[in-house]
Structure 1
Amino acid sequence: MSSLQVTRARVAAESCLVALPGRLTHVRGVVAAADGLRGHFDVASADCLVAAAWLHDVGYAPSVRSTGFHPVDGAAFARREGFDELVVSLVAFHSGAPAEARERGINGLSAFSAPPQQLLDALTFCDLTTGPDGAAVTPGDRLHEVLQRYGPDDPVHRAVDSNRVELLAAVNRVRAWL
């Protein structure tokens, strides 16, 4: 069953990411993983998780991109579009965004409240166990792929490298309650 918020998130992501079909394929895989975690949360929280899965990479879309930091751009978009503040915060903080913000010297996350840890871990788990092609991957392989895609001087590479332990800890926390 899909809530109106999840449907709105799907439509927004598909519309915004149409020019980035590879990114949309990854997003669809993250959504499938998030949908599989629904039973671990109350209905409202589960809907927010799945909506955030749809929107977690929308900040890469040319029509949404503003600062060049996709978690902040995506969260600002989600807020403008009237999504629940839990969705907005999950998009803002997903997959180690604070570490990347530090690497970039960006204070933009201060505009958003941190989400509950268990939901943030769940979204990070879904993102780190889904490859660019939407298929399930190990978190180690996913992190390796990201590091290969971005050179050592890129803030994404530095953030993933410096935050690897915490990213994998988030995955392990979810595995512990699965």
Structure 2
Amino acid sequence: MKSKPYEQLISALEAIDTQSANVVPSNFAPTIDEAVVFSDYLQGSTYGNVTQFPLLLGNFDFEASLFRALDDLKKYIFPGILLGGFQLPGLRLPVLDNANIFANNKNPTWRYRWFGAFMNTEITTVPFSGTWHAGELAILFGNASPASSGIPNSTAAEVFLSIKVSHIGLTKF
């Protein structure tokens, strides 16, 4: 998204279906395609149909805030309790389920929950959103691009955290 002109991003947001009756009425969501996103991970795992490679997966503390920011653009405001209710079954439990599936199939598996909220990873400040989906990855692996547009660069503590986590492999953190 960083490489796209802001006008193109705004146009994509304006194309969101404002008449949607979905709990989370935005067009930015995974689509089940049975190639990358599957309809039934649990059933497949009972037959051992699980990719055999190490897995690092997690989510940030309030991942549903992404939808608050998108839906605010449509003047559709969810009560915080509704977004909180979506957070657990819609975002945290699938991560837990997938971690258990991979671990039970003897895959090295690490699960995390990200609480970082740095200025250069927030979607919005009003309402406060926290970091954006997958925004923690660049910090965790130390490949965040320099901040721009008046957002300060990462602090020494943030850089240290990134280095520490990436070098100890999340085993002693």
- The question of a shared fold, defined as TM-score above 0.5 by the shorter chain, is answered with no
The structure where helix makes up a greater share of residues is 1
Higher-Rg member (1/2):
2
TM-score (normalised: structure 1): 0.30
TM-score (normalised: structure 2): 0.30
The structure where strand makes up a greater share of residues is 2
